[in-house]
Amino acid sequence: MTSGIKFCKLTLARIEARLPDLSLVDDFDRALLSFIEEKYGGAAPLGEINALAVVGALAPKWREMISLPQLGSLIPEDLMRTVSTGLAERELAIRLEKLERLGLIERLPGGDEGKGKVVLTDIGRAIATYGGVSLRQREAELKAIISQLRVEVPPSSSYVLNPNEIVIALVREEIELRSYEIGFVTPSPKASLLGMQILNTVIEGPYAGRLEIMLRGGYVPIKLESGDHIANVIILARG
């Protein structure tokens, strides 16, 4: 330790949760979220979503994909419509499952088949309305959004962190920052060598407790075990 600088090793207690990969959201997904927000105020009848998305966007796309000029005159119109509609309905079901898995929508069941609702979550609404989460929101609001996205991981003494996977790790050590101090969190040398990144790298005082660190996987799968040295924190006095 040198004057005005404090250094602390951080070791893994456990991996607490995973965060979804929102890079899987494509332009059609964003358009669907925006449609639910703008037309239905964020809560759309499932039956209407099925009808409008399938007939208005997906079925024509599938019809074009499966149409072959040399066979067009040989395929009855009713059959072409049935096949393209069936493929479109399947695609929409897969997309809704993906958006629900990513924490962007909730599907609420109704009394009859197709009578449920598709409801945007806070992060789904943020993507639909702003194209993303605004940095102008309060820190507590941003933390609430992250909390909503968490997928809890069963307790275990080890975890394999896959490339580009994002997890929330709890460390063993308790740290304390006074109001005039700021902390910078960096990967340990070995973790850095394997390409592992720390996403929440800055801590502002006052703070006291055990850190939850957001880790992104590196170049290869990394086996993390309880007690592993995963990060360092450097605490400085703000000028």
Residues 100, 70 contacting (CB under 8 angstroms): no
pLDDT digits (tens, 9 = 90+) for 64-113: 766 656 555 666 667 677 777 888 888 888 999 999 988 899 988 875 55
Domain membership flag for residue 31:
yes
pTM score of the predicted model: 0.69
Residue 13's CATH number: 2.70.40.10
- The one-letter code for the residue type at 153 is V
CB atoms within 10 A of CB 125: 19
Q: What is the pLDDT of residue 2?
A: 45
For 83-143, give the DSSP string.
HHHHHHHHHHHHHHHHHHHTTSEEEE--SSTT--EEEE-HHHHHHHHHSS--TTS-HHHHH
Compute the distance between CA of residue 72 and CA of residue 116 in angstroms, rounded to an integer. 37
Q: For residue 150, name the pLDDT band (cuts at 50, 70, 90).
A: confident
Structural domain range at position 10 = 5-21+151-237
CATH number assigned to the domain comprising residue 35? 1.10.10
For 28-37, write each residue's pLDDT tens digit. 899 899 989 9
179 three-class SS: coil
Neighbours of 58 (CB within 10 A): 21
